[in-house]
Amino acid sequence: MKEVRVRFAPSPTGPLHIGGVRTALYNYLFARKNNGKFLLRIEDTDQTRYVPGAEEYIIESLKWCGIEYDEGVGVGGPHAPYRQSERKELYRQYAEQLVRDGHAYYAFDTPEALDEMRERLKARGVATPQYDLFTRNEMCNSLTLSNEETERRLNSGEPFVIRMLIPENEEIKVNDLIRGEVVVNTSRLDDKVLYKSDGMPTYHLANIVDDHLMEITHVIRGEEWLPSAPLHVLLYRSLGWEAPQFAHLPLLLKPDGNGKLSKRDGDRLGFPVFPLRWTDPESGEVSSGYRESGYLPEAFINMLALLGWNPGTEQEVFGMDELVDLFTIDRVGKSGSKFDPEKAKWFNHHYLSALDNSYVSELLDKQLAEKGIKAEKSYIETVVGFTKERAVLIPDLWEQSWFFFRAPESYDEKVVQKFWKPETPALLDRITALLRETSDFSADNLEARIKAFIQENGLGMGQVMNTLRLSLVGGSFGPGVAAIIATLGKEEAINRILKAKEALA
Ligand code: GLU
């Protein structure tokens, strides 16, 4: 059997949308599942839409997600180069071959002539005027000009494009692995430009030529490309090539299901639509990313995998290897998937809680380093053990644990009013003494001793525990009081109690 070869072929026109990441992911999973190859090709033939930094952004995003490619920009491979602008010379011969074989033609129409044509058609009541079998005969092209005139124009360097000559009234069948057979009548198609006056191919030509030369067996891409598929099938046929299998993935929808989740939805809906933060090179506008917002790539990938594909069971949590194992195209749905930002958080919380303390402690350690705080690895691991389950996003690790690294600078006014009584300082002195004489500083032992102290002295549990907690962390949050004392250690815990006594005196 032929080796499976798939590609992700983004255009560097801006940051990669999460829908694009999903397309890359499904291609990757499909390749791995079938022991095939996954390629990254950069489709940058539209120079007017080129955005600096976008290509680097795409590559960094795939890297962050753990979506590795076997061939492509940055890694090379047998079909290099993988950047279409560097393959420019290659496309013209295929455009010319199509003209020679009667599947395409030269067109010399000026932009003004094209505008006039559209106006003329609109006046005749045509809703979507296009260059097609009804109009091409009224235009300036190698079909209407004599051979000599066409030659003369080409030789004199007059600007031209090459257009596809769409055959009349033919049923084109696209066999889609997700949608089944899609049939389109060619009379509805326009004579798309294949080769532009700037010497660059258009997306359609370059895409087909490269998919053929790069031996792509399956084209897995977004639904927005389905309308182009009949033209692509026609191009393969006209060039005498076998077409790959197609699979058009369902759209990602806004959370309310109303329409496609677009790049412009950005932070407008309160969640990122890009994997990484992006700063627009022109406007300087910043769009947030999953990475910078504190998501783990594992959680992000797990969430994306389930937006369009389902395993056929109730299982929701999948690592990349497991996804590779289970992924099949026939479990990709036809209808759009609503993006659910709460589910994204749910996955992140799940992964943060499930990851081992040593891994999570590295995440917290990075945040500590940014704040200039140094701590022992074992200490950070202990802290993470209490706090990771309370964290939804990575920055929450700090929010939930800062008091293990810094003594409180202030004390919550409400808690002070409720629990700080005239007799509190004397009570704290007795607890300090108790801590001093305790040698087994485990949380369990501390808990038992403090409880016994409270009972023996007929004190209120809430009263004692709340004032103690207030002195240690400055408020009414955090894990159990005994666990906090045990983790801080004798000296630090006693210092904090003394400091609170002084501050609140
Ligand atoms: N360059 C196209 C894009 O930006 C690729 C479409 C395809 O996969 O054929 O999405």
Which pLDDT score, from 0 to 100, does residue 434 have? 97
Which pLDDT score, from 0 to 100, does residue 243 have? 97
- For strand 252-253 and strand 337-338, is the pairing parallel, antiparallel, or unpaired? parallel
Ligand 1 atom 5: residue of nearest CA = 9
377 is catalytic: no
User: CA-to-CA distance for 406 and 391, rounded, in angstroms?
Assistant: 19
What is the fold, at CATH topology level, of the domain defined by 413-504?
Arc Repressor Mutant, subunit A (1.10.10)
Could you read off the pLDDT of 294-334 as tens digits, one per residue? 999 999 999 999 999 999 999 999 999 999 999 999 999 99
User: CA-to-CA distance for 101 and 81, rounded, in angstroms?
Assistant: 28
Q: Which residues of the chain fall below pLDDT 50? A: none
Q: Report whether residue 39 contacts ligand 1, using a CB cutoff of 6 Å.
A: no
By the 8 A CB rule, do 293 and 393 touch? yes
Which pLDDT score, from 0 to 100, does residue 309 have? 98
- In the chain, where are the structural domains located? 5-75+211-252, 88-203, 357-404, 413-504
CA angle 367, 368, 369 (to 5 degrees): 90
Ligand 1 atom 2: residue of nearest CA = 10
User: Which residues are within 8 A (CB) of 417 and not within 5 positions of it... i.e. 6 or more apart?
Assistant: none
Q: What is the DSSP string of 38-79?
A: EEE-B----GGG--TTHHHHHHHHHHHHT---SEETTTB-TT
Residue from 37, 192, 196, 263 carrying the catalytic annotation: 263
The CATH homologous superfamily of the domain defined by 5-75+211-252: HUPs (3.40.50.620)
Name the amino acid, one letter, at 416: V
User: CA-to-CA distance for 354 and 107, rounded, in angstroms?
Assistant: 62
Tokens standing for 492? 């630090």
How far is the centre of ligand 1, averaged over its atoms, from the C-alpha of 4 (Å)? 19
Which pLDDT score, from 0 to 100, does residue 265 have? 82
What is the fold, at CATH topology level, of the domain defined by 88-203?
Glutamyl-tRNA Synthetase; domain 3 (3.90.800)
Q: Report whether residue 225 contacts ligand 1, using a CB cutoff of 6 Å.
A: yes
- For strand 252-253 and strand 278-279, is the pairing parallel, antiparallel, or unpaired? unpaired
